[in-house]
């Protein structure tokens, strides 16, 4: 059995299922959908549970949420 969960996110961080830290790129932040690096790693980034309030990159492919 499979379930679908949909939710709105406010920031580009671990709340997005497409967001990840790429260990092969010095923990830089990548997007699965964009297949690209979107942010450089910062020493203040929490790799395991990264909830830093980053703006969405202009090329973010996700649909805008209704307010």
pLDDT tens digits along 27-45: 999 999 999 999 999 999 9
Q: Is residue 2 part of a domain?
A: no
Q: Are 61 and 19 in contact (CB under 8 A)?
A: no
How many domains in the chain?
A: 1
Helix (H/G/I), strand (E/B), else coil: 22: strand
Domain, as residue range, for 56: 7-62
Q: Could you tell me if residue 16 is inside a domain?
A: yes
Q: Is residue 67 part of a domain?
A: no
If you average pLDDT over residues 17-34, what whole number do you get?
97
Q: Is residue 53 part of a domain?
A: yes
State pLDDT tens for residues 44-64. 999 999 999 999 999 999 999
5: confidence class by pLDDT, cuts 50, 70, 90:
confident
In a domain, 23, yes or no: yes
E strand or H helix at 31: strand 28-31
Residue 28 lies in a domain: yes
């Amino acid at each position: 059995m499979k379930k679908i969960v949909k939710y709105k996110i406010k920031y580009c961080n671990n709340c997005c299922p497409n967001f990840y830290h790429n260990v092969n790129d010095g923990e830089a932040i990548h997007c699965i959908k964009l297949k690209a690096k979107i942010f450089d790693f910062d020493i203040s980034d929490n790799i395991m549970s990264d909830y830093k309030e980053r703006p969405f990159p202009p090329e973010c492919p996700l649909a805008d949420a209704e307010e």
